[in-house]
Amino acid sequence: MTLTSPGPTVGVVGGGQLGRMLGEAAAPLGLELLVADPTPDCPAAPVVRDQLVGGFEDEETFRDLAERSDYLTFEIELADPDVLERVAEETGTPVHPAPETLRTIQDKLVQKRRLADAGVPVPEFRAVDSAADLREACEDLGYPAMLKARTGGYDGRGNVPVEGPDAVEDAVDDIAGPAMVEEMVDFERELAVMGCRGDGERDAFPVTETIHEAEILRESVAPARASDDVRERARDVAHDVLDAMDGRGVFGIELFETTDGEILLNEIAPRPHNSGHWTIEGCHTSQFEQHLRAVAGLPLGTTDQRFPTVSTNILGDVAERQPAALSGEEGILETPRAHLHWYGKREVYDLRKMGHVTLTGDDPDALLADARDLRDGLTFE
Amino acid sequence: MTLTSPGPTVGVVGGGQLGRMLGEAAAPLGLELLVADPTPDCPAAPVVRDQLVGGFEDEETFRDLAERSDYLTFEIELADPDVLERVAEETGTPVHPAPETLRTIQDKLVQKRRLADAGVPVPEFRAVDSAADLREACEDLGYPAMLKARTGGYDGRGNVPVEGPDAVEDAVDDIAGPAMVEEMVDFERELAVMGCRGDGERDAFPVTETIHEAEILRESVAPARASDDVRERARDVAHDVLDAMDGRGVFGIELFETTDGEILLNEIAPRPHNSGHWTIEGCHTSQFEQHLRAVAGLPLGTTDQRFPTVSTNILGDVAERQPAALSGEEGILETPRAHLHWYGKREVYDLRKMGHVTLTGDDPDALLADARDLRDGLTFE
């Protein structure tokens, strides 16, 4: 291999916080980053070579991006896999992970079928195209069950719990499109593994415990406060998931540890993931560096952990969309081993991901309590 | 304090590798960076908001930079302090560290006098304006002695050893300008401390051992392989140096540990310094984050060390100036806990600083040997 200046350019579809953190990780490796995003001056813009302004299905933008890049990747599932595939073919710029993988993952039903076929343990599920389908499925799976839109869901949007037979019609109306239903999993805790496929190698970061509220990630604790055996099995499942995917890159793999001690796959994301932000300080290689290494065909870095680490999201807590102004951040800046990550989003709205805070130390319980205290000291004005 | 988007902008005079690493550190804190540098597409350009192209004495460029920035700083001593001072006054944009501090440091004689007056231990020195001055000084200080240009020296350029009375005339001719001469210090090892002045606080990173060859830094070892007592006294000297300076920011403080066990100040740089690059991985706060915190008036981060750490420079090893192309970097990428930092310089020439490699671990001796092996595996093609 040869390092040059300028080095290879990685074109990223999407320039939100994930693009911004990819930008922070690129320069040491000698990589240059371009992002394409419809929002002018997106979060990644100040730390990358250039932003192309265009939508996630805009073929012209994708083509410009591909022509200026040596590798293409994406940091948002809304990227159109058909357009990516066409542009890659026309320009010869490879896309990682493979557009086919993105297509599979975008449709939750196709995703689950593919993984179940590959032997990955998943909750029981059924396709749902009508209220009759849902009623029949729930007779098998039991109530409550979770109805999910097959496409477009995000941070719990597109998920509707079905409490009983009377709720079936409304749930199907709510989703208003192709759906799937899953048994409601009785879980001890939720886990996540950031896996990575490189050029002929694969690896996984230490298992993370993820704490959600209203289906939005609040905190990540690494290593997960689960038994060694559970953590080992979670990693095994992650490896099986990676083997079922195509192309290179980081995958966020969300899992359930059931009350029976089983590991079940919940969902995967073909990109760096919120539950892996802690790796920036907590591991020797961050998930962002790892994704770039994979996409650019460089050797993967070690996934070893530096310290027990907790991160907590900074979410919007305002009633109305308004310019972002956060007070209380000096509490984070004054705390040794607390790390602020501000995403630079111009506006805040309720529950919008505006940044995160990472704390490293020794004891996960104490770190979690401290991280919550720091976060609770923040207010949007 | 309040975090906004966009956050405060820091304007940096100079956009070399130090500007690039400042750029990598800015976004998490919510800061935006602008750099001014005469070389179009300088190393910092791909990771900052914008580069202004202009020289280090160009008042128009400095004014543009100041008008677009909330704080001004510099990453190169060639920045003109008079211009900085005028522009700061005209635009109201504060400069850190103070231009007066830069002016003091730029003149090695003034620097040494100021520090000696403040009680900092320094090698014996004399002003030299003629061969007669040098001859007289060396009668006091003994031969060999080190003649140094008062201004413009860098990486050993501007330093001439004076071996005996016969070498006096040539040495003065070589420097061809105002100079100073210092006793040649018989040192056990060279040390460096990255100190920082914040808003009403000051702190210093752990003492680093620096290994030079032909007066160019080759490796840094942290903590320095010196006694606890020596390290403690080196930190004390660093604190005294910080107290003698004005304005906020990181200072690179280079020291000698003499064979008699004394600590003597060698030189200071009013900016992040090559001997502190190891802090990116080796400390919880890097010198680059610390400099930005200080300049922007944020609380300083902890200077605690994460692990024993060694870094080694990647220097040009070519006879002629040529496009940069480095082979052998896969050795670094494949080594767990080795971190590549490529500066993105377009061209390489002999001994040019092209990048560095950092290794973290347990045993400084082993890390140093491993880092040298990795570096020796690199070749410019």
**Which two three-digit tokens encode residue B205?**
């990173």
Residues B179 and B202 in one domain: no
Residues A208 and A351 in one domain: yes
**pLDDT at position B287:** 98
Say whether A183 sits in a helix, a strand or coil.
strand
Q: What phi and psi, each to the nearest 5 degrees, are found at residue B207?
A: -65, 130
CB contact under 8 A, A299 and B330: yes
Residue A48 scores a pLDDT above 70: yes
Collect all residues of chain A within an 8 Å Cβ-Cβ radius of residue B20.
27
Residue A156 scores a pLDDT above 80: no
Contact predicate B202/B246, CB 8 Å:
no
Residue B272 scores a pLDDT above 70: yes
For the CA atoms of B217, B218, B224, B226, what is the dihedral angle to 10 degrees?
A: -90
Collect all residues of chain B within an 8 Å Cβ-Cβ radius of residue A5.
323-324, 342, 344-347
DSSP state string for B344-372:
--SEE-TT-EEEEEEEESS-HHHHHHHHH
Say whether B170 sits in a helix, a strand or coil.
helix
**pLDDT at position B157:** 76
Question: In whole angstroms, what is the distance from residue B74 CA to residue B15 CA?
Answer: 9
Question: In whole angstroms, what is the distance from residue B277 CA to residue B272 CA?
Answer: 8
Contact predicate A222/A361, CB 8 Å:
no
The answer to whether position A104 is within a domain reads: no
Report residue B300's pLDDT band, with 50, 70 and 90 as the boundaries: very high
CB contact under 8 A, B2 and A26: no
- Distance from the Cα of B48 to chain A's closest Cα (Å) equals 5
Question: In whole angstroms, what is the distance from residue B68 CA to residue A322 CA?
Answer: 24
Q: Over the stretch A287-334, which tens digit does the pLDDT of each residue have?
A: 999 999 999 999 999 999 999 999 999 999 999 999 999 999 999 999
**pLDDT at position B215:** 86
Residues A69 and A218 in one domain: no
Number of domains forming the structure of chain B? 3
**pLDDT at position A153:** 72
- Give the residue from A21, A34, A47, A51 with the most B CB atoms within 10 Å of its CB, the best one to mutate: A47
**pLDDT at position B145:** 96
CB contact under 8 A, A48 and B47: yes
Q: Considering only the beta carbons, identify the residue of A7, A30, A330 that sits closest to B299.
A: A330
Pick the residue from chain B with its C-alpha nearest to A44: B27
The answer to whether position A2 is within a domain reads: no
CATH number reported for the structural domain that contains residue B31 in this entry: 3.40.50.20
Residues B172 and B220 in one domain: no
Q: Over the stretch B346-368, which tens digit does the pLDDT of each residue have?
A: 999 999 999 999 999 999 999 99
Collect all residues of chain A within an 8 Å Cβ-Cβ radius of residue B2.
325-327, 329, 381
B159 is an annotated ligand-binding site residue: no
Collect all residues of chain A within an 8 Å Cβ-Cβ radius of residue B381.
2
Pick the residue from chain A with its C-alpha nearest to B324: A4
Report the percentage of chain B scoring pLDDT > 90.
Answer: 94
What is the complex's ipTM, to 2 decimals? 0.96
Pick the residue from chain A with its C-alpha nearest to B50: A46
**pLDDT at position A157:** 76
Residue A218 burial (C-beta neighbours within 10 Å; 0-12, 13-18, 19+):
middle
Residues B233 and B139 in one domain: no
Mean pLDDT of chain B: 96
With tokens 């990181």, the residue in question is B250
Report residue B152's pLDDT band, with 50, 70 and 90 as the boundaries: confident
Question: In whole angstroms, what is the distance from residue A184 CA to residue A3 CA?
Answer: 50
Say whether B92 sits in a helix, a strand or coil.
coil
The answer to whether position A114 is within a domain reads: no
Mean pLDDT of B322-339: 97
A182 is an annotated ligand-binding site residue: yes
A267 is an annotated ligand-binding site residue: yes
**pLDDT at position B155:** 67
Report the percentage of chain A scoring pLDDT > 70.
Answer: 99
**pLDDT at position B295:** 98
**pLDDT at position B88:** 97
Contact predicate A263/A275, CB 8 Å:
no
CATH number reported for the structural domain that contains residue B244 in this entry: 3.30.470.20
**pLDDT at position A303:** 98
DSSP A207: P
- Distance from the Cα of A362 to chain B's closest Cα (Å) equals 13
CB contact under 8 A, A329 and B26: no
Torsion sign, CA atoms A53, A59, A64, A67:
positive
- Give the residue from B1, B2, B5 with the most A CB atoms within 10 Å of its CB, the best one to mutate: B5
Residues B202 and B318 in one domain: yes
Residues B134 and B204 in one domain: no
The answer to whether position B83 is within a domain reads: yes
- Give the residue from B9, B20, B47 with the most A CB atoms within 10 Å of its CB, the best one to mutate: B47
With tokens 């593919």, the residue in question is A114
**pLDDT at position A176:** 87
**Which two three-digit tokens encode residue B178?**
């105002």
Residue B154 scores a pLDDT above 80: no
Contact predicate A376/A316, CB 8 Å:
no
With tokens 């413009």, the residue in question is B152
Q: Over the stretch B208-229, which tens digit does the pLDDT of each residue have?
A: 999 999 889 999 999 999 999 9
Q: Over the stretch A197-229, which tens digit does the pLDDT of each residue have?
A: 999 999 999 999 999 998 899 999 999 999 999
CB contact under 8 A, B46 and A28: no
Residues B355 and B343 in one domain: yes
Q: Residue A140: which H helix or E strand, with range?
A: helix A131-141
The answer to whether position A146 is within a domain reads: yes
Q: Considering only the beta carbons, identify the residue of B1, B339, B345 that sits closest to A330.
A: B1
CB contact under 8 A, A24 and B29: no
CATH number reported for the structural domain that contains residue B165 in this entry: 3.30.1490.20
Collect all residues of chain B within an 8 Å Cβ-Cβ radius of residue A6.
46, 344, 346
Report residue B42's pLDDT band, with 50, 70 and 90 as the boundaries: very high
Question: In whole angstroms, what is the distance from residue A369 CA to residue A191 CA?
Answer: 19
Mean pLDDT of B102-122: 96
Residues A151 and A216 in one domain: no
Q: Cis link prior to A223 (omega < 30° from 0)?
A: yes
The answer to whether position B105 is within a domain reads: no
Q: Considering only the beta carbons, identify the residue of A30, A33, A345 that sits closest to B5.
A: A345
CB contact under 8 A, B342 and A7: yes
Mean pLDDT of B307-326: 97
Residue B156 scores a pLDDT above 70: no
Q: Considering only the beta carbons, identify the residue of A298, A342, A381 that sits closest to B28.
A: A342
Question: In whole angstroms, what is the distance from residue A235 CA to residue A208 CA?
Answer: 10
Determine the structural domain holding residue A56 and report its residue range: 9-95
Residues A30 and A77 in one domain: yes
Q: Beta strand A322-323 with A347-348: parallel, antiparallel or unpaired?
A: antiparallel
Question: In whole angstroms, what is the distance from residue B210 CA to residue A265 CA?
Answer: 51
A313 is an annotated ligand-binding site residue: no
CB contact under 8 A, B48 and A48: no
Contact predicate A53/A41, CB 8 Å:
no
Out of A95, A112, A142, pick the residue that ends a domain: A95
Collect all residues of chain B within an 8 Å Cβ-Cβ radius of residue A327.
1-3
Task: Give the HSE-up count for residue B230: Cα atoms under 13 Å, Cβ half-sphere.
Answer: 24
B163 is an annotated ligand-binding site residue: no
- Distance from the Cα of A325 to chain B's closest Cα (Å) equals 5
The answer to whether position B345 is within a domain reads: yes
B183 is an annotated ligand-binding site residue: yes
Question: In whole angstroms, what is the distance from residue B326 CA to residue B355 CA?
Answer: 10
- Distance from the Cα of A24 to chain B's closest Cα (Å) equals 5
The answer to whether position B33 is within a domain reads: yes
Out of A164, A183, A202, pick the residue that ends a domain: A183
List B148's β-bridge partners, or say none. Answer: B159, B180
- Distance from the Cα of A66 to chain B's closest Cα (Å) equals 18
Residues A240 and A357 in one domain: yes
Residue B367 burial (C-beta neighbours within 10 Å; 0-12, 13-18, 19+):
buried
Beta strands in A172-244 (DSSP E): 179-183, 187-197, 202-204, 208-213, 216-222
Pick the residue from chain A with its C-alpha nearest to B359: A284
Question: In whole angstroms, what is the distance from residue A319 CA to residue A65 CA?
Answer: 37
Report residue A155's pLDDT band, with 50, 70 and 90 as the boundaries: low
Residues B37 and B81 in one domain: yes
